[in-house]
Amino acid sequence: MGKNFKEAIQNCRTYYSLNNQISVSDEEIKEVINHAVKHVPSAFNSQTTRVILLLGKQHQQLWSIVTETLRAIVSTELFSKTEDKIKHAFASGYGTVLFFEDQEVVESLQEAFPSYSDNFPGWSIQTSAMHQFAIWTMLEALGLGASLQHYNPLIDEEVRKTWNLDPKWKLIAQMPFGNPTGKPGEKEFEPLEKRVKIFE
C-alpha cells in the first residue's frame, strides 16, 4: 500500500465525486476485504460481521435499487437532485462494499450469555464500525476514495432478494468506492483538549 497507517487515517475522507478508472486490481481490493474480515477483532470473538463486495454490473445493480426505491418516495421536485447525487457520487465509482451483521450469531450469544444479553446488539454495531473503518482506511491506502452511506432499511428487502441473502443478515451500511475525481470538503477539528484527557 502506498501510504502508512497514520497517513491513511489522516486522508480517509468522504469523497462525493468518483469514477471507475482505478489503478489497482480486483485482487488487491478482494485482499483488503478478506484481510479485514479475518483479522478485525470482535466482542467474544463473535465474528458477526458479514461483507459483500459488489463490482461491475453488481455494483450498478445496487445503485439502481437505491434509485428506484427513492423514486417511489421522494417528491418529483426533489428527486432530480437525489438521482444526480446517486449517479455521480456512488454509481459512478468502481464498486460498493455492503456491511451486514448476522443477527443469528447475536441472538445465540444473547442466549448463551444472558448476563450480557442487552450488550450484544451494541457490541455487534461496534464490530461493524471497526470493519468499516479498517476497510475504508485500507482502500484509502490504495489510493481509492470512498464514502459511507445508509440507505437501509429502505433497500433491505430488495437487496436481500437480489443477492439471495440470509434473512438474518442485517444491512448496516454501504460503502461506494472508486477513483476520486474531486477534493473532499474542508474538515474542521475540535480542540484536542476538549476531546482527550490524559492522566499521568
HEC assignment per residue over 53-90: EEEHHHHHHHHHHHHHHHHCCCCHHHHHHHHHHHHHHH
Domains within the chain, CATH numbers bracketed: 5-183 (3.40.109.10)
120/109 Cα distance (integer angstroms)? 7
Distances in Å between the Cα of 95 and the Cα atoms of 21, 53, 91, 99, 177 are 11, 7, 8, 13, 6
Share of the chain above pLDDT 90, in %: 92
Confidence tier at 2 by pLDDT (50, 70, 90): low
Cβ contact 171:100 at 8 Å: yes
Instruction: Classify residue 173 by burial, with Cβ atoms within 10 Å: 0-12, 13-18, 19+.
Output: middle
SS3 of 119-131 = CHHHHHHHHHHHH
Query: In the chain, how many H helices and how many E strands?
Result: 8, 5
Report the run of H or E that residue 7 belongs to, with start and end: helix 5-11
Distances in Å between the Cα of 171 and the Cα atoms of 21, 78, 129 are 28, 26, 12
pLDDT in tens, 98-122: 999 999 999 999 999 999 999 999 9
Identify the residue whose cell numbers are 482502500. Answer: 139
pTM of the complete model beyond 0.85: yes
